[in-house]
Structure 1
Amino acid sequence: MRNHEIDFKIYGDDMQFVEVELDPNETVVAEAGSLMMMDQQIEMETIFGDGSGSGGGFVGKLFGAGKRLLTGESLFMTTFTNTGHDKKHVSFASPYPGKIIPMNLSENGGKIICQKDAFLAAAKGVSVGVEFQRKLGAGFFGGEGFIMQKLEGDGMAFVHAGGTIHKRELQPGEVIKVDTGCLVAMTSNVNYDIEMVKGIKTALFGGEGLFFATLRGPGTIWIQSLPFSRLASRVFAAAPQAGGQNKGEGSVLGGVFRMLDGD
């Protein structure tokens, strides 16, 4: 086994965090800014790339870190190493309501392809790279863009997604059509393409977008019920616009605010 073998426990329901248990000298790597808490003898270090050691020298590490910019991630990641003589714990929290999905890469063909921004943390040695969609249609209209993340190795990795997560096993030749933003992750043997909605009325007035993802088995897929982009658009639509009045409308405080403003 090339990757560090870590134990973990997930807490919470809709606002989850994962607690990773590290033996002496074990390391976990995480996205910058995902730390929640850690024990005293955990040593934190910022590194280029993912620390998997697959880059080959400084130039390779720089190139690997630069590729992460294409997925909208930072050049840097953070490692957490247990420098003590007994078990220590470090916890990571998801950035928005949803679920944390533990994935054992050795049980999923050693490779998982996931949407950008989904990666949270992983055992040291897991390679966090980019996956280019081979088809232009999937690239331009795939909802998550031409580039997705890929996690490679034989250790544990943790990804997060919004709402409820549904894991589904696709049989050989089985096809499922999914909203492009709802696809969280898939194994590398799943065939992924983008299909346009049929019918001009459905496309213009259906309210479901112009494209959806077509996934063909065999393989495993993970689907989220609430993509962050959908949540953000609803929050933005409900927020007061520039020059508008939305200070507690329909409440006693709303009347007070309007009196103070001279309305």
Structure 2
Amino acid sequence: MLFKTDFRGSYAILFVELEIGETIVAEPGAMVSMEGDIEVNTSTGGIFKALKRAFLGGEHFFLNKYISHSKSKISFAPLLPGDIEVIDIKNGFFLQSTSYLASQETISIDTKFGGFKTFFSGEGFFLLKLSGYGKAAISAFGGIYHKELEPGEAITVDTGHIVGFDETVKYSVRTFGGIKSTLFGGEGLVVDLVGPGRVYIQTRNSPAFINWIKNLIPRDTASK
């Protein structure tokens, strides 16, 4: 199985070349094109895991499996404009719930609650846990870059900018500053990450972008 990403940056697309009998799993709606004899199966990947993905992680209840019966090629793209990174999964990796794109069948997907939801910030921090060994394609809103944390090295990241991090990284979620900073400082929740391990960060904040768009939509104040 060969992964290749083209148009890196704002409008990246992932191409996967499959040999006979190979399978790639992907987020529903992510497929762009297919070449060759490819069978598509839709499954939950386990009913309990699917329920957690849907109701906790905000992900689709189902996942699509693409099984190649010939030498084939398939492409995927995320919903939001941004970059794609193909990473190696070794044991465990935590992924922000909207950043999953595709992965090899050897990787299982579960949902983990990463922190808390505060009355003031209106944010939650849910993570997908990728377990096993193989390659996974993760997506970002905007550009994506990664930092390799040494043992004991720490970084603080806004939760809206987190893409994912290795299971070896310790993390804790908290409000940004005090209540005044949370209410008036334009920040909500941040996550403190302590190495060792990889941390992936996106250059744009999708929740903040969505809220900005909402504020531009005229409100109907007419009485009915």
Does TM, scored on the shorter chain, surpass 0.5? yes
1:72 and 1:152, CA in 2 relative to 1: closer, same or farther beyond 3 A?
same
Superposed, which structure 2 residues align to 1:123-134 within 5 Å? 123-133=104-114
User: Which residue is 1:9 aligned to?
Assistant: 4
| CA–CA separation in structure 2 for the residues paired with 1:104 and 1:224 | 18
Point out the structure with max Rg over C-alpha: 1
Q: Post-superposition shift, 1:146?
A: 5.3
Q: Structure 1 residue aligned with 2:73, among 89, 104, 115?
A: 89
Structure 2 unpaired stretches of 5+ = none
Pairwise CA distance, 1:95: 0.5
**CA–CA distance in 2 between the matches of 1:152 and 1:126?**
5
Are residue 193 (structure 1) and residue 172 (structure 2) matched? yes
Counterpart in the other structure of 1:175: 154
> Would you tell me which structure has more helix in proportion to its own residues?
1
Distance 2:211 2:73 in 1: 36
Equivalent residue number for residue 35 of structure 1: 31
CA separation of 1:154 and 1:143: change in aligned 2, threshold 3 A: farther
Alignment of structure 1 residues 39-50 onto 2, 5 Å:
39-49=35-45
Shift of 1:21: 0.4
Question: Structure 2: how far apart are the matches of 1:39 and 1:145?
Answer: 39
Q: Which residue of 2 aligns with 1:165?
A: 144
Asked if the contact 1:113–1:149 (Cα under 8 Å) also holds between the matched residues in 2, the reply is yes
Unaligned runs of 5+ in 1: 1-5, 50-60, 245-263
Give the Å deviation of 1:223. Answer: 0.8
Residue number in structure 1 paired with 2:186:
207
Q: Which residue of 2 aligns with 1:67?
A: 52
Q: CA separation in 1, counterparts of 2:122 and 2:2?
A: 34
The answer on whether the counterparts of 1:19 and 1:91 sit within 8 Å (CA) in structure 2 is yes
Cα distance between partner residues in 2 of 1:143 and 1:127: 30
CA RMSD between the two structures: 2.1
Structure 1 counterpart of 2:209: 231
SS class of match (1:153): strand
Query: How far off its partner does 1:124 sit?
Result: 1.3
Separation of aligned partners in 2, 1:47 and 1:7: 24
Tell me the percent identity: 35
Matched positions, count: 218
TM-fit CA distance, 1:38: 0.3
The whole-number CA distance in structure 2 between the counterparts of 1:143 and 1:105 is 31
Cα deviation per residue 1:214-242 (whole Å; 9 max; x = unaligned)?
A: 11112110111112212212222223333
Indicate the structure with greater strand content.
2
Query: What is the deviation of 1:66?
Result: 2.4
Judging changes above 3 Å, is the alpha-carbon distance between structure 1 residues 144 and 120 closer, same or farther for their aligned structure 2 residues?
A: farther
Q: Is 1:151 aligned with 2:136?
A: no
Letter in 1 for 2:198: T
* Cα gap change, 1:204 to 1:236, in 2 (>3 Å): closer
